[in-house]
Structure 1
Amino acid sequence: MSFPLYAKGPALSEHSGPVHVVRYNTTGQYILSGGQDKRILLWNSSSLKLVKSYVAHGYEILDISVSFDNAQFLSCGRDRLVFLWDVASGTAIRRLAGHTAQVNAVNFNTDASVAASGSYDSTVRLWDLKSNSQKPLQVLDEAKDSVSSVQIVGSQIITGSVDGYLRVYDLRMGQLYEDLIGHPITSVMDSADSACALVSTLDSTVRLMDKSNGTLLQSFTGHDNHKYRIRSCFGDNETYAISGSENGKIFVWDVLSGRVVHQLRSHNGSIVACVAYHPRSTQMVSCGSNGTIQVWQST
């Protein structure tokens, strides 16, 4: 099965400097982006028009997470802070401080009552968004190096770290499961059934791991990822694994066979830092270190 894509419209270039993260909201109607210029931009994914700009961070923005109802989003960055935003008003509702180094990753739980943040300080902090407390609910400090990725799925918290470990915290059972991948992890994405995780590492490999027993189900190679955090994702109901590359390409692999089904050139050969797939259609969005955002649509 082929995965033909074409660029839809011109590259979006409102950001100044590298763009680190792009995310769809839960309906796919909007795209959020953040980068070196300390701004979060909200785009209409159909018209590709800029809708709103959100400013509060003092340093570059490294991750964004959107709530289930699209009313709020989280952002984090090099200023060691996590902000909770109201989408409609454009204001920051909460400022969560406590990490001692840059915050790499942030994520909501299912009902947006709790946030998780992962940091260069090797900790994951859980925050109660329904209370006014400025202290975290819990601090997870098992990582031995920077936490690059965090995701809350049900009662599980899934993290990836530069120490090479994929960690799954089962809060209901009070257990921690650790799988040594053996290379610094740059991103982790849970599968829809929560049985597997798509794990990107700095040995230019994306791995599909069975979370229950640590079995390697499939590996995806061909892209270049040795130095920078590049985030991968599933596409088309998990038919595909998709990742950027340090040489200006996006790679698309068939999940079952592991073979490359498409290579897309974009961002003028710069680092493709993040890719995200539309939740309800075949549209995809990517961002690059050259400061652009590119929207893709299957033919």
Structure 2
Amino acid sequence: MSQPGSIPRTKALTLTGHKGAVNVARFNSDGKYCLTGGQDRQIRLWKVDTGEKVVEFEGHARDVLDLQVSPDNSRFASVGNDRAVFLWDVATQRIIKKCDGHLHRINTVGFSPNSALFASGSLDKTVRIWDNRSNSRRPVQQLEEATDSVTTLAFNDTEMLTGSADGFVRVYDMRQGQMTADFTGSPVTSGAWSADNRCILIGALDHTLRLFDRSNGTLLNHYEGHQSSQFKMECCFSRSGAHVISGSEDGAIWFWDILEASRAQRVLAHSSIVTCVAYHPTESALLSSSSDGSVIIWR
């Protein structure tokens, strides 16, 4: 059964200032701050309780497509159309290092839970893994199993999930050096681990989210109603795990009961594509960004 209050419905704050589409919005690990990145090549840090802009980070030469905060909150990584991976120090607001090597735009970036590693996935069909503790600008590992653009990646304690436009979801066991692959049938655009790491939520360009059992690849449920046929959009779990959430190309945010997939709720959030949704780590609050240039915190 759905838990009361697990679906944020009230617009609490609208964060404005980006010029052009906002491609990504992320909470930090304690939810006190959020970061946004967009078409204007800027990354902005905001206070979540007040909506105040704290600082702007500038360094990208083209659109910022994704960013991720390290679990210890000391650093964040950002990627984009300029084919570079930037590692930033939050306290000094400076670039620690710029990692080059990808041949095309970089779609996705993520940190391992212990903050030791971060990884990037690109249109060049590769995933590159970088050492957060080293000054080296060269990857420690390069994964080349994808046959099309790598669009999403996410770590859990021991594994890394990747999704590709080739329709495959690949999970790499970082300790054993093994990989498993499952074919979804449609280009994959987003992926997320459940809190217990037993399930994987996948978004694809066929207007469908799919929930898979991690242990055997069984399709547990699927969720429909939103529009997703052309653009990369994020999906996520609610903090309670009772709902799955996705943006939509018509500007709406969709919430489905994780067990009863037909029980969906739709909130018209933005005037254009909802590019990213992220659930607050400790509260019933949701962050959404859009190609209309706005970012909203919902409670």
Normalization by structure 2: what TM-score? 0.96
Check the 8 A contact 2:108/2:151 in 1, yes or no: yes
Measure how far apart 1:4 and its partner are.
5.6
Check the 8 A contact 2:8/2:298 in 1, yes or no: no
Q: Distance in 2 between matches of 1:63 and 1:4?
A: 24
Measure how far apart 1:152 and its partner are.
2.1
Measure how far apart 1:6 and its partner are.
1.0
Give the letter aligned to residue 289 of structure 1.
S
Q: Distance in 2 between matches of 1:209 and 1:264?
A: 25
Runs of 5+ unmatched residues, structure 1: none
Runs of 5+ unmatched residues, structure 2: none
Equivalent residue number for residue 285 of structure 2: 283
Check the 8 A contact 2:233/2:274 in 1, yes or no: yes
Check the 8 A contact 1:24/1:32 in 2, yes or no: yes
Q: Are residues 1:87 and 2:90 paired?
A: yes
Corresponding residue SS for 2:96: strand
Q: Distance in 2 between matches of 1:120 and 1:260?
A: 35
Check the 8 A contact 1:116/1:152 in 2, yes or no: no
Q: Distance in 1 between matches of 2:188 and 2:264?
A: 24
Q: Are residues 1:186 and 2:203 paired?
A: no
Measure how far apart 1:32 and its partner are.
0.5
Give the letter aligned to residue 286 of structure 1.
S
Moved segments of 4+, more than 4 Å: none
Q: Are residues 1:7 and 2:11 paired?
A: yes
Measure how far apart 1:259 and its partner are.
2.6
Give the letter aligned to residue 16 of structure 1.
K
Q: Distance in 2 between matches of 1:4 and 1:190?
A: 21
Q: Distance in 2 between matches of 1:4 and 1:39?
A: 28
Within a 5 Å distance, the mapping from 1:83-232 to structure 2 comes to: 83-232=86-235
Measure how far apart 1:89 and its partner are.
1.3
Percent same amino acid at aligned positions?
Answer: 43
Report how many residues are paired: 295
Q: Distance in 2 between matches of 1:120 and 1:182?
A: 19
Q: Distance in 2 between matches of 1:218 and 1:139?
A: 32
Equivalent residue number for residue 34 of structure 1: 37
Q: Are residues 1:77 and 2:84 paired?
A: no
Q: Distance in 2 between matches of 1:266 and 1:170?
A: 37
Query: 1:41-94 CA deviation, whole Å, 9 max, x = no partner?
Result: 111111011111100000101111111111111100010011111112111111
Match of 1:52 among 31, 52, 55: 55
Q: Distance in 1 between matches of 2:202 and 2:256?
A: 14
Check the 8 A contact 2:97/2:137 in 1, yes or no: no
Check the 8 A contact 1:4/1:262 in 2, yes or no: no
Q: Distance in 2 between matches of 1:189 and 1:152?
A: 9
Check the 8 A contact 1:72/1:87 in 2, yes or no: yes
Give the letter aligned to residue 291 of structure 2.
S
